[in-house]
Amino acid sequence: MEKLTRTDLLSLENYAEQRADFRAKIMAHKQVRRLALGDHAALYFEDRLTMQYQIQEMLRIEKIFEAAEIEEELSVYNALIPDGNNWKATFMIEYTNVDERREALSRLVGIEDKVWLQVGDAARVYAIANEDLERTTADKTSAVHFMRFQLSAADIEALKAGAPINAGIDHPAYDVSLKPAPENVQASLRTDIDF
């Protein structure tokens, strides 16, 4: 998947004019990029469009218009765009109650290494988590992790042939399996792969 450049971005003024429509487009797009894993965890699969939105929002919020600073944002967020042979996702542990979330984060240490995707009956592909920086301590995990699921050539061929995409978590305190993932999410994820 092609990375973003400055020419793909709108100026602050143009983005302000188009923001409502662009945001509506993104929210619809993100609905088929979210994969719930049980009641309290989800993968939000990133792609070029989700990252364009993220960058535009960062530029707007921070009022960034200098070329060097824009390039810095591009460098950070381009890393979350799939490379054609992997999926990249933001993994979130979701508890609305603060006390429940605090307790869960201490109970779920290491969960980021137990999230998996699977193409058909092939071996599970476990997430490579937090390549940017460590987000877990001995006492608690973070509510947000950045993940890459690196696919083998055999996985890609199986996807091309129509094999289903399964997903899950096999942490002792949070065990869930989706076989298969919802069809609309699978269809969206297939667009990230170069066949």
Tell me the C-alpha distance between 111 and 88, whole Å. 17
pLDDT of 135: 82
In the sheet with 34-36, reading across from the earlier edge strand, the strands are 34-36, 41-45, 86-93, 144-150, 128-129
Instruction: Identify the pLDDT of residue 1.
Output: 87
**Which residue has 């535009």 as its token pair?**
56
- pLDDT in the model for residue 86: 98
Q: What is the CB neighbour count within 10 angstroms for residue 188?
A: 20
CA angle 59, 61, 63 (to 5 degrees): 55
Q: For residues 64 and 77, what is the distance between their CA atoms, to the nearest angstrom?
A: 15
Residue 175 CB-density burial (10 A; 0-12 exposed, 13-18 middle, 19+ buried): exposed
Measured CA distances, 184 to 82, 152, 179, 189 (Å): 18, 23, 14, 9
- For residue 89, the Cα-to-chain-centroid distance in whole angstroms is 2
Which residues lie across from 41 on neighbouring strands? 93
Q: Residue 158 in contact with residue 180, Cβ under 8 Å?
A: no
pLDDT for position 127: 97
pTM of the model: 0.94
Q: What pLDDT, on a 0 to 100 scale, did the predictor assign at position 137?
A: 82
Domain boundaries, the chain: 6-31+48-78, 86-190
Residue 133's pLDDT is what? Answer: 76
Token output for 166: 């399964």
Q: What is the pLDDT along the chain (195 residues), one digit of tens a residue?
A: 899 999 999 999 999 999 999 999 999 999 999 999 999 999 999 999 999 999 999 999 999 999 999 999 999 999 999 999 999 999 999 999 999 999 999 999 999 999 999 999 999 999 999 887 778 888 999 999 999 999 999 999 999 999 999 999 999 999 999 999 999 999 999 999 998
